[in-house]
Structure formats: C-alpha cells, structure tokens
Structure 1
Amino acid sequence: MLEDGVQLYAPDFANSGGGFKSCYFSELARLEEQNFWFRSRNQLIVWALSKYCKDFQSFLEVGCGTGFVLSGVSQAFPGATLLGSEIFSAGLGYAAARLPSVKFIQMDARDIPYREEFDVIGAFDVLEHIEDDMTVLCEVRAALKANGFMFITVPQHRWLWSPVDEYACHVRRYSASELYKKLESIGFDIVHSTSFVSLLLPAMLLSRLKQRHAQSSIDPADELKLSGGLNAFLYKVMQAELGFIKSGVNLPFGGSRLVVAKRRDWILK
C-alpha cells in the first residue's frame, strides 16, 4: 500500500502505532539540529560506524523519526545505500524533507519485511519504546546479512526513571547486562559497548530527583529547550566525553549506552 509515495507495510499502525506520540515530531524536527545531545549522539554513531564497519554498503534505520541520524550517516558515508523506516507516517514527512534522495518506508519493527538484506541496521533510542523488544531484535538479526552489524543506543539505569521517561513514552531503561543477555541469546556478539552522557550524569540525576519530588507540574520537554549559552557549554562537555571514548575508554555509567553487536551464525540454546 502506498501513501504519498511511501510504502506502508503496517498501515494499521501508521497513525497510532503506540510507544510514542506523533505530535512530538514537529518539536523534534525544530530542536534536534541545535541540541547538544542529538548532535553529540550523531557524532558518536558516525565515529562507531567508521571504526567498526566503515565499508558498509547498505544501512537500515529502524525508527528513523525525523531523519536526523540518517542525515549524519548520509554526510559521513555518501556512497552507502540508506533506508529509513518509521511506524508513524507523520515522522516520515520530516525525514523525507531532510533527505530527499533517501528512500523511506512505514513499517512495524516487530515485522521487518526484509531478510538478509543489510550490512548495518541501527535502532537509536527506539527499543525502550517497545514492550516486545526481543521480537524487534530477532527481526533485525533476520534482516542482516551474515556478519552484519547492529548499532543500538538506549537510555540506561533504572534508577534514573523520571517523568521525562513517561513523557517520552518509554517502557524501560536498560542495564548493560540486560541488553547483552538479550542480544547474545538470539545470535549477536557484543563488539563494543560504552555509556555516554557520563560526565553530565550527576547533573542529570539531580534533575531527575527534582522532577520526581516536584510539588507542581513540570514540563519534561524543558530539557530540550535550553538557552544558547547552556546548550553550547553542554556540547563542549559532550565533546570531551567523546574524546575519551575515541581514545578507548569504555565509560561504565551514563544516561545512555551505545552497543555495537555483530550477527553470528549460531544462536545460544
């Protein structure tokens, strides 16, 4: 089924897929390019792609949202064939406007319509929105070529749970061990893993504690609406952190985690 030139593989979920509110896309599209966290995450993803599979030819992003990550990947790897997927049709309009030369589809990550098709599949802050994350991981493995790579970012540490997670429609924050166990049990080997948003973790924890105990209502989206000066300072902190990661330091604690996993041919029983 086609809608505005986009293939719909899960049309029943195109406007009400759950796990996210499609009305958030307009705000994300407006804030991502300047926000320190989104910019720093893109740089981390591009660095990891360059380090672990720089010669990849095909890349699928699961849950591409407004296309911000794909825009970074496109700039860094202009020769690769990119495909963006999103369960909500609303997000794909913003993504296509950003990247008119990239193909986009609407699909449910629990039912990926490809088998052994991609060198790399990315899911960046997606799994935490989905109750049945194991089905998604199994579908990703099936869609990867032999020895293909999965790149994941997720929020971590359950003790950081706050109204921000509820606002973002998260169903969990991961621990590293939980994510490793899930990946390894279905046929992935962990190639690289590190926390990020580590230097800012104390400030993040204080913010979360304040939100939990606030007497009046607060807007969790305020974390995206920063002054120019504060945003610039936080970006510099994240740049220092990225320097540590590039030098080989795997940070044990942080608000988020990056995992690079490689498909293996056998599955643990």
Structure 2
Amino acid sequence: MTRVLTARTVNGIACYSPDVAESYADYPDAAFEVTDAEVERSFWVRSRNRLFGWLVQQDVTRLGRANLLDIGCGTGSFLGKIIDMPGLSATGSEIYLSGLKIAQKRQPRAEFIQFDVTQGVLDRQFDIITAFDVLEHVEQDEAGFRNIHDMLSDDGTYIMSVPQHAFLWSRLDEIVHHKRRYSRADLLTKLIAVGFEPQRVTSQVFFLFPLVVVSRLLDRSISGAAPTDDAQALLARVSFPRPVNWLFDKIMRLDEALIRMGLSLPFGSTLIVVARKSGA
C-alpha cells in the first residue's frame, strides 16, 4: 500500500521527508548556488524552460484548469516561467532545503514543499506532474515512478526528462551524483511497468549532440587534472561565454521547432517522455 506522507514545518517550509532534507546524498549542496548563478545565462536551461513550458501549456489548454507539481524544482527556475500561466496552479517540490531556500527568494508567489518522491505520496492529486532531470539522481527510481503515477489524476499528464546514453557518462555525472544515464528502452519499460502509457517520446540536444559527445570524451581524459572541488568543477562544465550561449541557444531552437511539429528526434543527450495513465 502506498504510504501517504504528512508534513512538519522546518525553517518555515512544509517538509514531507524531513529525515533527508539536509542529507545532500543525491545532489551536492553547493550545486544549487552554482546552477542558480548560471540559470539565466545557460542556453540549455533556457531551451528546457521554453520547451517544457510549451508542453505544460498544451495540457492546461486541454484540461481548462490544472494543478501542477514540479518534482525536483531546484531553485525554482521553471516555476518562474509558468507561474502566471492562466488556469494553472503550481507547486514546486525539492528534496533538499538549500534549493528550496533559494527558490522561495526567487519566486515568493509560488508554493514550495520539501518532498522525497521515493518515500511515498502527498495527500492530494495533480493534473500535471513534471520532473526534469530528477529520477537519475535516485537509486529507487521505480518507486519514484510508481508514486508519481499514484499522485496523478486519471486524465492527468506526466512530463519528464532524464540524461540519455550510458556512453556519455563523464565526470559531470559524478559531480551531480547521477546514478545512471537512461536508454530509451529502459526508461519506457520502467514507465509502462508502473502503469504509464507514453504519448510522446523524443530526444533533445539533437543538433548539438556531436559537440556533446566530444566534450564528454574530453572530460574523461582531463578529469584527473580538473578541479576536485565539486562547486568549481561543476562551474567549469556548465559555464559558457556569452557568445557561445547565444549561438547554442539559437541551435537549440531547431530542436524545439521539430519537437513542436510532433517529430521524435532519434538521439540527443536528453530524453523526454510525455505519458498518461494506461487506459486514461
């Protein structure tokens, strides 16, 4: 039987999984400040927010009104892009308090809670659940998928992304505590097993994929000489000069355009799945 979690307040935040709120076992504490500093400049984050914002809008239009839960909201970047969407009520959840404290400052109008999706479910259901680059951080991803399924309304939609292709594993995956990179077959098998029916499956970072492959291979070869401090090492890998961010942002728009047209891109460093409950 699925465990329904209850909250207690810690530092002004409703915590449904307080025992892990400050463990930082699956994501480094310092990474929240690093990613928050880069979020507005990063071509990857900007592209992700545009595409996923569009996907959410499709479902809000379909449903008329929707209650959304963003699992692993980090510092609240995505919620900030959709919070004013007509008909949408959004809640951000994050397992670690460091990210939530930044998110609350950045998005004071949004609701944020502390929650470990592998431990159980919340005492309410949601019409849209999103989890962008989250489940690769946890050992028990099947439990996470099952709990997400149980929290989703019968006609709701689950929108998710994960890092793809095991051969791209590099020092970056280790820095941010990834447990795996998924294959398309592995992810779909796990989703179907808990009762999801994929509606849309596509890769992202398609046109930039050759550069991703080269950068990850180089990362493996120089990792021994790279900074050992996780914050410095992460910053070195996610920070790009302004002209590079501008150029890559334009290239990512090609990915977005093809996905909006309904095409499934065959490969890329990110895998995206839009799913609903089987038989819904």
Q: Please, what TM-score do these two structures have when normalized by structure 1?
A: 0.93
Task: Measure, in 1, the Cα distance between the counterparts of 2:124 and 2:115.
Answer: 17
Q: Structure 1 runs of 4+ off > 3 angstroms?
A: none
- Give the secondary structure class of the aligned counterpart of 1:39: helix
Task: Measure, in 2, the Cα distance between the counterparts of 1:129 and 1:142.
Answer: 20
- Residue 60 of structure 1: aligned partner: 69
- Give the secondary structure class of the aligned counterpart of 1:64: coil
- Residue 262 of structure 2: aligned partner: 248
Q: Structure 2 unaligned runs (5+)? A: 1-7, 227-232
Q: Considering only aligned residues, what root-mean-square deviation do their CA atoms show, in Å?
A: 1.6
- Residue 44 of structure 1: aligned partner: 51
Q: In the alignment, is the contact (CA less than 8 A) between 2:34 and 2:235 conserved in 1?
A: no
- Match runs of 1:231-246 below 5 Å: 231-246=245-260
Q: 1:201 aligns with which of 187, 194, 209?
A: 209
- Residue 229 of structure 2: aligned partner: none
Task: Measure, in 2, the Cα distance between the counterparts of 1:216 and 1:84.
Answer: 37
- Residue 110 of structure 2: aligned partner: 102
Q: In the alignment, is the contact (CA less than 8 A) between 1:194 and 1:250 conserved in 2?
A: yes
- The alpha-carbon deviation at position 147 of structure 1 amounts to 2.1
Task: Measure, in 2, the Cα distance between the counterparts of 1:144 and 1:107.
Answer: 16
- Match runs of 1:111-122 below 5 Å: 111-115=119-123, 117-122=125-130
Task: Measure, in 2, the Cα distance between the counterparts of 1:220 and 1:18.
Answer: 16
Q: Structure 1 unaligned runs (5+)? A: none
Q: In the alignment, is the contact (CA less than 8 A) between 1:85 and 1:107 conserved in 2?
A: yes
Q: 2:159 aligns with which of 124, 137, 151?
A: 151
- The alpha-carbon deviation at position 52 of structure 1 amounts to 4.2
- Give the secondary structure class of the aligned counterpart of 2:271: strand
- The alpha-carbon deviation at position 5 of structure 1 amounts to 2.1
Q: 1:164 aligns with which of 163, 172, 188?
A: 172
Q: Please, what TM-score do these two structures have when normalized by structure 2?
A: 0.90
Task: Measure, in 2, the Cα distance between the counterparts of 1:103 and 1:146.
Answer: 23
Q: In the alignment, is the contact (CA less than 8 A) between 1:116 and 1:142 conserved in 2?
A: no
- The alpha-carbon deviation at position 50 of structure 1 amounts to 2.4
- Give the secondary structure class of the aligned counterpart of 1:121: strand
Match status 1:4 vs 2:18: no
Q: In the alignment, is the contact (CA less than 8 A) between 1:62 and 1:123 conserved in 2?
A: yes
Number of paired residues? 265
CA gap of 1:56–1:188, structure 2 versus 1, over 3 A, is farther
Percent identity of equivalent pairs: 35
Q: In the alignment, is the contact (CA less than 8 A) between 1:188 and 1:263 conserved in 2?
A: yes
- The alpha-carbon deviation at position 126 of structure 1 amounts to 0.3
Match status 1:13 vs 2:20: yes
Task: Measure, in 1, the Cα distance between the counterparts of 2:115 and 2:32.
Answer: 17
- Give the secondary structure class of the aligned counterpart of 1:100: coil
Paired amino acid for 1:60: L
